Amino acid sequence: MRTRLAVAAAVVSAFLLCGATRPAPGGSADAPIDTTIAAIRADGPKYDGKYVRVRGLLNQCSGFSCALHPVSSDGKPDPEAANLRLDFSQDTPTLRMPESVDPGRVRNALAFLYRFSEITVVGRYEYACDAAFDTRAKPKGGGLEEIVVCTDAATNFYDVVVTAVHRRWPSTAFARDDGFKLIPLSPAVTGNIAAAYRALTGFGTWNAKEQYQAFIGSFDDASTFFCVCLEKDCTGRWPTERQHLPGNPMNPYTCTYAKRTDCVWRFEPSFDR
């Protein structure tokens, strides 16, 4: 009897010990290291290949990546601080994109969900691209040198899971001094575009001063954009830069490309679809 009890106790102890085993910190998405963007960028090799949990403000997006900035004391992104570039793609399962989203427009949908939001994310940090610009990195001596080539806006944060959205801002709360400004078109041209858009979509009865606006870009391709107010009045709340155009749940407007072909104005799907 005593032998059986001793064996049973040993089995239970072994079971408890096995059950108490946990993944090493940073070894998986279920055991991320709680840290900050500043800490990661200050010591990249320490976090290389590790899963971490950080909080920041998702700002500018390009291709299938978006920049996650540290948040300063006034609640705005700190443009001078090093950021993380999150890898967002149509294959990111945790985002659960609606079936109605065109696969070719996933980038816009991702920006609509999280851009200009303060969020907490879990993901895997990779130091490879940052090492190329890290002046503290020590060159490896002897043998062949490994060369890593990273394109513009290359990502360094993968397997992204957005675990919380803490705060949102309209797109117009942020500005970039990069020359991508929007110039309002004349009332006559804007009225013609609005009439074509209304005839095509049947969207609303508008007051020209408050409910719609057309712009031309100051950038190279001089694109035309048409924006419709989703609220009663958008005076003083219209986009002024190209980065204000993509959809955002906090924006009081929605915008689309407009192009005049054979004397007819044609429109692409809005930025938030």
Q: What is the pLDDT of residues 244-255, one digit of tens each?
A: 887 788 899 988
Domain extent, residue 108, equals 33-169
Q: Answer whether residue 35 shows pLDDT above 90.
A: yes
Structure tokens at 220: 């190279």
Q: What are phi and psi of 167, to 5 degrees?
A: -160, 150
132 and 246 both lie in a single domain = no
Which of the two residues, 143 and 15, has the higher pLDDT score?
143
Residues 149 and 197 in one domain: no
Q: Tell me the C-alpha distance between 160 and 51, whole Å.
A: 10
The Cα–Cα gap between 272 and 181 comes to 20
Tens digits of residue pLDDT in 41-71: 889 999 999 999 999 888 777 666 778 888 8
Amino acid 181: pLDDT: 87
Rounded Cα distance between 70 and 190, Å, is: 39
The predicted pLDDT at position 155 comes to 82
- pLDDT of amino acid 174: 79
Query: What's residue 69's pLDDT?
Result: 85
pLDDT digits (tens, 9 = 90+) for 146-160: 556 666 567 888 888
Q: Which residues contact 35 (CB under 8 A, 6 or more apart)?
A: 47, 52, 53, 54
- Looking at the structure of the chain, the number of domains it has is 2
Per-range mean pLDDT, top range of 10-14, 33-37, 94-98, 136-140: 33-37
CA angle 221, 224, 225 (to 5 degrees): 130
Residues 152 and 195 in one domain: no
- Residues 152, 218: one domain? no
Q: How far apart are CA 203 and CA 113, in angstroms?
A: 24
- In-domain check, residue 2: no
Instruction: Output the pTM of the full model.
Output: 0.71
